[in-house]
């Protein structure tokens, strides 16, 4: 078992240990095989990566919007979003690391209507990933709320997965998103842009 978690925090059913996590902050059960380290390959750990400001350098296209004024002009946002394919890769070392790229997923606040441009950018920059989770086109919630919904969706998927798998690590450039991930017990890293 994980040496950082006290043994009384687990219950056993057969050869599987279940970690107790308060229901109000947990939408999944992470499963650790008895006698196996969580670093072994039979326990898949998901690493969540943000795009804009974390993996893709969007600074150059922020000129299209004024985030400080909560700019809601749809044409400005559209120009900002369609320009994403020209972003440079930043912090690529994070996702290229073999330890994480085995089960990397992307959470982005970009609306789903920009999925083709987003996947094109991921392909052009050779970003390895297993899943892409995007904002619903009609969802105008703050980024941290969008990513909380995406996390819940991912955790529901994990609960239905045959192989033990759970969200483990998250990288984002938004402090509010990092705070939300911490409430769910994820290891987090606030990433700074260029």
pLDDT at 2 over 50: no
pLDDT digits (tens, 9 = 90+) for 119-175: 999 999 999 888 899 999 999 899 999 999 999 888 887 776 655 666 688 999 999
| Total residues belonging to the chain | 194
Least confident of 94-98, 112-116, 183-187: 94-98
Q: What is the CA radius of gyration of the chain?
A: 18
CATH class of 38-190: alpha beta
Least confident of 15-19, 43-47, 153-157, 186-190: 15-19
Q: Is 0.75 topped by the overall pTM?
A: no
Contact between 132 and 108 (Cβ < 8 Å):
yes
d(CA 53, CA 193): 6
Q: What pLDDT was estimated at residue 67?
A: 63
């Amino acid at each position: 078992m994980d040496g950082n978690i006290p043994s009384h925090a687990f219950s056993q059913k057969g050869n599987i240990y279940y970690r107790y996590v308060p229901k109000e902050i947990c939408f999944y059960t992470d499963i650790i095989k008895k006698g196996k380290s969580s670093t072994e390959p039979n326990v898949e750990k998901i690493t969540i990566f943000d795009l804009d400001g974390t993996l893709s350098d969007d600074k150059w296209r922020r000129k299209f919007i004024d985030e400080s004024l909560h700019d809601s002009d749809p044409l400005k946002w559209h120009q900002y979003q369609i320009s994403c394919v020209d972003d440079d890769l930043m912090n690529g070392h994070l996702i290229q690391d073999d330890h994480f790229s085995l089960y990397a997923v992307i959470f982005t606040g970009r609306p789903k209507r920009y999925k083709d441009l987003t996947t094109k950018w991921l392909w052009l920059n050779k970003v390895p990933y297993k899943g892409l989770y995007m904002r619903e086109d009609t969802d105008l919630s703050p980024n941290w709320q969008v990513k909380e919904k995406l996390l819940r969706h991912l955790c529901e998927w994990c609960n239905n997965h045959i192989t033990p798998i759970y969200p483990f690590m998250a990288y984002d450039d938004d402090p509010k998103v990092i705070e939300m991930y911490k409430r769910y017990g994820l290891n987090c890293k606030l990433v700074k842009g260029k």
